[in-house]
Chains A and B, each alone.
Chain A
């Protein structure tokens, strides 16, 4: 099964800057990778899915990259706002049934 590592448990950045979150995996490269946002006391909310043949994907202020050579995905939030403060989880399919395995998440705080 996959082992997923997300960078430092907590990341603080200043409003207006770009936040960059890292997701590294250890075994075979998955067919796709997903990113979710989770607010305190709530369930995760899907943000983006990037497939192995896509180098980059964008959605409004969000950008995800997928480097199968480095076994890494980067998640960027440009022009960050305090409302972007949350925990961000990456997830990828693993095992014969391709069920999602989640990383432990990175808690992002955007300071006004």
Chain B
């Protein structure tokens, strides 16, 4: 199993540009999550999904959108990139709500 995969690994965006961060898991997990991690800080939940077709906002959803059309994929969309969105983004999945989460390797995004 590949586990949780994320692409790209690194990306530099100009202010106002858009992009999609890809996340996929091959563990047949129902729950998927997007977090951002700023230097020296903990993980902040952006959006999560409890199954295909169902998504909900986390702690810091502004400036982001998600979709979950399949169990495997959970892309994160940035519509109008801002410098405040410079961060490392992690995707994670879990079989159920109260079980351990499996994290991807992260995407390091810089907005200039």
Q: Using a CB–CB distance below 8 Å, which chain A residues touch chain B?
A: 1, 4, 9, 31-32, 34, 41-46, 49, 89, 91, 93, 97-105
Contact = CB atoms under 8 A, between A and B. Distances in A.
Interface of B: 4, 33, 35, 40-45, 48, 56, 58-59, 90, 92, 97-106
Contact of B105 (A31, A42, A103): A42
15 contacts: A34-B100, A43-B105, A44-B43, A44-B90, A45-B103, A46-B100, A46-B101, A91-B43, A93-B98, A97-B97, A99-B48, A99-B97, A100-B101, A101-B42, A103-B42
Nearest to B108: A41
B36 to A, nearest CB: 11
Contacts of B58: 99
A91 B101 CA distance: 11
Contacts of A44: 43, 90, 101, 103
Contact of B98 (A31, A46, A89): A31
B13 to A, nearest CB: 20
